[in-house]
Chains A and B, each alone.
Chain A
């Protein structure tokens, strides 16, 4: 077995004499790759925690009565699930792990523009996470991740302030990362790497960063206002104090709708990389994919009102927000069609990352199409705040973001660690996740249209069959998430050495050793080709070289 030593002087190695020095070399690192690993560990911890809370919720919902949890505990469980998953997994997930690791490599730089700020953002993330965790440990919070006022600001007697502090601090971590990406993309591209030669992952990360920098301050201020009202009783959102409860929803969704794109746009970037690599050809319609990311980023700022169709906003605003929501469907559709067209005349291989990419397209299409249902106000009136919405956003968030995150982790795992994982288990778990996901969330569309409201701890008997189906699916899904954890961890010791470019992919990150050297490039590369510069005959050659027994 070729499992001996990794190529020397990778970023993972150093000659620290003591354990303490080794710990310090990680905790005080300014290397973007090490920071990405720090994020990877922390973010996966929060993902497991959020998943645990989700499991508790799904177990409770197997029966119509509230037999496992009291209503109070149930409310705290789904709130914990939402807050952890949204603020500490989905929003930072792909940018902080894959973005941090890849963007300097992809643009041919030795590090981020602001390496210390980058480390600082990880500490902010950890501090925010500690606040949120301590809120959970000291009794939890029961407002839902949406913190609607005046419930959160006046009525809830749970740890609202601690949780808000967590989300608030986490916001600054996002902003720091966003600023870093923007400046790095603008100023640190290698000679010859023009904007239209950038990998699409960089484009989508750039679009994401713009949203982060523009929108996150709004939610920070909003949460601060909730805290001010809660602590000092200043009337901002509670009408009993002279405030306006809808003001909160406008401010909150002004951030939180674009936040959906913060979660999904980096995923689009990952998928573009995967589809191109495993079709062995240039991506179809590069410019359209790049500009559709920017279009989503811009239009995404103008649709927040579609979360408020039944909140009491006027018919006119309902119509305007509905109209713009319809428009945002178009750039998403353009991406899906271009990915599909990329497959045409390619030489497709079913490696694990590709399976995730194909799964992503399938789930994202369903998530996107049901988004149109919700954008039509007449239908939204019936299905908003029901399980239909729950199913829809899980298709986008889990089916989209998590599939892309896992696909990306598998794709760049050899680059990050220098080792290959077990391909068979990889394929199996990708399939399990796809099946488990659909079992869990498809029944919820039906539940929602039947009228089952969300955030219900007890429910009428007639909804039980679908709830049981959904809970059964979530077990399958959980198994699918645990398997990669095992084989990826094992691969660190047992995996085959990956070599510099195990997938024969294009892109500067594949030109350096795996794992990359501490400073990425000995010599700053000069770029003379566009991204995905597979020669026209690459697909043909790849197919011709295939023999029975080669990887599928």
Chain B
């Protein structure tokens, strides 16, 4: 072993700040955990029963001392708390414009799909210097998407979306781990994250490969062993086709004259519900409304939509959500329809 590193590689914008905070915590710990043992050792030797020492006037307690060693640690942990809190809020607040990639976890592999339809198994290609937002769900049990070099981790839950964002800073290959125990082959639910320059990423994005769809996804035809080209239709386009074939379009008319509300401009907008509450129409709301429409009905519309629970794979749900998001002007890079457009937008963002 040539080197003996104590830190993993720093390959995202979070890595530096998190390592800095970690370093400060180690330093503070050394002050307490490093000095205290020496005090104890000193007292152990100084006041060992074999030692002549002044043992008169033993103190039984001291309020000033108690206050000192209550207040100083309290101030220190609160300082650390606030520092960590601001960093945490950063880590959990993706920038408005970002590249969205959909992730599906299943026992025991990762399946990702880029907005132009390109799919990957146990790999994730991302451009550097570009905020990337992962929209993740699981087909079975809880998994956790973990990239140590980026210092990011997020549990991936069945039945809902969780999101995570990062901005890679260094090209290279990094570990991708499942961090939440998920059964027999948990330790083999690993892969790699490939961070590339934007130009390389665009080239990669438009090059077809072959990929195995996750079980139960559209067109897989049962066994899941079907090999299909890794670039299918762009996600929003696939979603649009589903939107038509499932008959959604009959009620959710763009002009708002249908039985259901128009979905144009809905994404990420606060919407008034039947019960008077305000709900932000985020990915999880869209998902819930497809699978369980009666849970939160938009004000002014009757609860007449049938549930699509059990009729859609996670893959298809992702495509529908991507399509509905593409109906909003404020959408991010990934909501554009064509490969060329997405490449263009990504390039625009770089200016």
Residues in A lying within 8 Å of B, measured CB to CB: 66, 71-72, 75, 142, 144, 146, 148, 150-151, 154-156, 238-240, 244-246, 279-282, 284-288, 310-312, 315, 318-319, 322-323, 326-327, 329-330, 333-334, 336-338, 340-341, 343-350, 358, 361-362, 365-366, 369-370, 372-373, 375-379, 381-382, 384-386, 446, 449-451, 453-460, 465, 536-537, 539-540, 542-543, 546, 548, 550, 552
- Write the nearest CB–CB distance from B171 to chain A, whole angstroms: 19
Contact indicator A330/B152 (Cβ below 8 Å): no
Contact partner, B151, options A322, A323, A382, Cβ 8 Å: A382
- Write the nearest CB–CB distance from A246 to chain B, whole angstroms: 7
Contact partner, B73, options A330, A350, A384, Cβ 8 Å: A330
Can you list 8 A-B contacts (CB < 8 A)?
A285-B66, A326-B77, A347-B49, A365-B32, A382-B151, A449-B22, A539-B55, A550-B50
Q: A151-B141, A451-B146 are in contact. Are A245 and B159 (CB under 8 A)?
A: yes
Contact indicator A318/B88 (Cβ below 8 Å): yes
Contact indicator A315/B89 (Cβ below 8 Å): yes
User: Which B residues from 45 to 98 make CB contacts under 8 A with A?
Assistant: 47-62, 65-66, 69-70, 73-74, 77-78, 80-81, 83-85, 87-89, 91-93
Q: A75-B186, A239-B158, A345-B54 are in contact. Are A453 and B146 (CB under 8 A)?
A: yes
With a cutoff of 8 Å between Cβ atoms, the chain B residues found around residue A284 in the complex are 59-61
Residue of B44, B69, B89 ringed by the most chain A CB atoms within 10 A: B69
Contact indicator B18/A379 (Cβ below 8 Å): yes
With a cutoff of 8 Å between Cβ atoms, the chain A residues found around residue B52 in the complex are 543
- Write the nearest CB–CB distance from A479 to chain B, whole angstroms: 24
- Write the nearest CB–CB distance from A234 to chain B, whole angstroms: 16
With a cutoff of 8 Å between Cβ atoms, the chain A residues found around residue B33 in the complex are 365-366, 369
Given contacts A151-B181, A550-B50, 13 further A-B contacts (CB under 8 A): A148-B180, A155-B141, A286-B60, A311-B157, A343-B44, A376-B83, A376-B88, A381-B88, A385-B146, A451-B148, A453-B179, A543-B52, A546-B49
Q: CB-CB contacts of B170-187 with A at 8 A, as 1s and 0s?
A: 000001011111111111
Chain A residue with Cβ nearest B61: A285
Contact indicator A379/B84 (Cβ below 8 Å): yes
With a cutoff of 8 Å between Cβ atoms, the chain A residues found around residue B36 in the complex are 336, 340, 365
Task: State whether the Cβ of B6 lies closer than 8 Å to any Cβ in chain A.
Answer: yes
Task: State whether the Cβ of B129 lies closer than 8 Å to any Cβ in chain A.
Answer: no
Contact indicator B88/A319 (Cβ below 8 Å): yes
- Write the nearest CB–CB distance from B53 to chain A, whole angstroms: 7
Q: A336-B36, A449-B8 are in contact. Are A381 and B49 (CB under 8 A)?
A: no
With a cutoff of 8 Å between Cβ atoms, the chain B residues found around residue A446 in the complex are 6
Contact partner, B81, options A287, A323, A343, Cβ 8 Å: A323
With a cutoff of 8 Å between Cβ atoms, the chain A residues found around residue B69 in the complex are 333-334, 337
With a cutoff of 8 Å between Cβ atoms, the chain A residues found around residue B18 in the complex are 378-379, 381-382
Task: State whether the Cβ of B304 lies closer than 8 Å to any Cβ in chain A.
Answer: no
Task: State whether the Cβ of B346 lies closer than 8 Å to any Cβ in chain A.
Answer: no
Residues in B lying within 8 Å of A, measured CB to CB: 1, 4-8, 17-18, 21-22, 25, 29, 32-33, 36-37, 39-40, 43-44, 47-62, 65-66, 69-70, 73-74, 77-78, 80-81, 83-85, 87-89, 91-93, 107, 140-142, 144, 146, 148-149, 151-155, 157-160, 162, 175, 177-188
Q: A381-B153, A543-B50 are in contact. Are A312 and B181 (CB under 8 A)?
A: no
- Write the nearest CB–CB distance from B331 to chain A, whole angstroms: 23
Q: A246-B157, A345-B53 are in contact. Are A71 and B185 (CB under 8 A)?
A: yes
Chain B residue with Cβ nearest A323: B81
With a cutoff of 8 Å between Cβ atoms, the chain B residues found around residue A311 in the complex are 142, 155, 157
Chain B residue with Cβ nearest A548: B50
Contact indicator A239/B141 (Cβ below 8 Å): no
Chain A residue with Cβ nearest B190: A460
With a cutoff of 8 Å between Cβ atoms, the chain B residues found around residue A244 in the complex are 159
Contact indicator A334/B84 (Cβ below 8 Å): no
Contact indicator A381/B80 (Cβ below 8 Å): no
With a cutoff of 8 Å between Cβ atoms, the chain A residues found around residue B73 in the complex are 329-330, 333
With a cutoff of 8 Å between Cβ atoms, the chain A residues found around residue B88 in the complex are 315, 318-319, 322, 376-378, 381
- Write the nearest CB–CB distance from A297 to chain B, whole angstroms: 18
- Write the nearest CB–CB distance from B35 to chain A, whole angstroms: 10
Contact partner, A71, options B78, B160, B178, B187, Cβ 8 Å: B187
Contact indicator B74/A330 (Cβ below 8 Å): yes
Contact indicator A451/B187 (Cβ below 8 Å): no
CA–CA, A450 and B151, complex, Å: 10
Contact indicator A385/B153 (Cβ below 8 Å): yes
Contact indicator B158/A245 (Cβ below 8 Å): yes
Contact indicator A451/B43 (Cβ below 8 Å): no
Contact indicator B8/A75 (Cβ below 8 Å): no
With a cutoff of 8 Å between Cβ atoms, the chain B residues found around residue A382 in the complex are 18, 148, 151-153
Contact indicator A449/B58 (Cβ below 8 Å): no
Contact indicator B78/A345 (Cβ below 8 Å): no
With a cutoff of 8 Å between Cβ atoms, the chain B residues found around residue A386 in the complex are 179
Contact indicator B177/A455 (Cβ below 8 Å): no
- Write the nearest CB–CB distance from A383 to chain B, whole angstroms: 9
Q: A75-B184, A310-B154 are in contact. Are A450 and B43 (CB under 8 A)?
A: no
Contact indicator B181/A455 (Cβ below 8 Å): yes
CA–CA, A384 and B88, complex, Å: 14
Q: A148-B142, A543-B53 are in contact. Are A315 and B21 (CB under 8 A)?
A: no
Contact partner, A345, options B5, B55, B87, Cβ 8 Å: B55
With a cutoff of 8 Å between Cβ atoms, the chain B residues found around residue A543 in the complex are 49-53, 55
With a cutoff of 8 Å between Cβ atoms, the chain B residues found around residue A373 in the complex are 22, 25
CA–CA, A346 and B58, complex, Å: 8
Q: A378-B18, A455-B186 are in contact. Are A288 and B85 (CB under 8 A)?
A: no
With a cutoff of 8 Å between Cβ atoms, the chain A residues found around residue B182 in the complex are 151
Contact partner, B157, options A312, A327, A340, A457, Cβ 8 Å: A312
Q: A450-B8, A451-B146 are in contact. Are A378 and B25 (CB under 8 A)?
A: no
Contact partner, A151, options B44, B142, B146, Cβ 8 Å: B142
With a cutoff of 8 Å between Cβ atoms, the chain B residues found around residue A330 in the complex are 70, 73-74, 77
Contact indicator A151/B183 (Cβ below 8 Å): yes
With a cutoff of 8 Å between Cβ atoms, the chain A residues found around residue B107 in the complex are 155
- Write the nearest CB–CB distance from A216 to chain B, whole angstroms: 24
Contact indicator A315/B53 (Cβ below 8 Å): no
- Write the nearest CB–CB distance from B189 to chain A, whole angstroms: 10
- Write the nearest CB–CB distance from B202 to chain A, whole angstroms: 29
Contact indicator B58/A376 (Cβ below 8 Å): no
Contact indicator A384/B153 (Cβ below 8 Å): yes
CA–CA, A449 and B175, complex, Å: 14
With a cutoff of 8 Å between Cβ atoms, the chain B residues found around residue A375 in the complex are 81
Contact partner, B43, options A240, A281, A286, A344, Cβ 8 Å: A344
CA–CA, A156 and B148, complex, Å: 28
CA–CA, A348 and B47, complex, Å: 6
Q: A288-B66, A361-B40, A543-B50 are in contact. Are A381 and B151 (CB under 8 A)?
A: yes
CA–CA, A377 and B187, complex, Å: 25
- Write the nearest CB–CB distance from A150 to chain B, whole angstroms: 6
CA–CA, A344 and B61, complex, Å: 11
Chain B residue with Cβ nearest A319: B85
Contact indicator A334/B66 (Cβ below 8 Å): yes
Chain B residue with Cβ nearest A309: B88
Contact indicator A381/B149 (Cβ below 8 Å): no
Residue of A75, A333, A334 ringed by the most chain B CB atoms within 10 A: A333
Contact indicator B85/A348 (Cβ below 8 Å): no
CA–CA, A365 and B34, complex, Å: 10
Contact indicator A340/B40 (Cβ below 8 Å): yes
CA–CA, A299 and B78, complex, Å: 16
Chain B residue with Cβ nearest A246: B157
Chain B residue with Cβ nearest A329: B77
Contact indicator A346/B81 (Cβ below 8 Å): no
Contact indicator A315/B92 (Cβ below 8 Å): yes
- Write the nearest CB–CB distance from A131 to chain B, whole angstroms: 22
Chain B residue with Cβ nearest A365: B33
CA–CA, A457 and B37, complex, Å: 36
CA–CA, A480 and B104, complex, Å: 47
With a cutoff of 8 Å between Cβ atoms, the chain A residues found around residue B187 in the complex are 66, 71, 455-459
Q: A450-B7, A455-B187, A459-B187 are in contact. Are A341 and B65 (CB under 8 A)?
A: yes
CA–CA, A323 and B88, complex, Å: 13
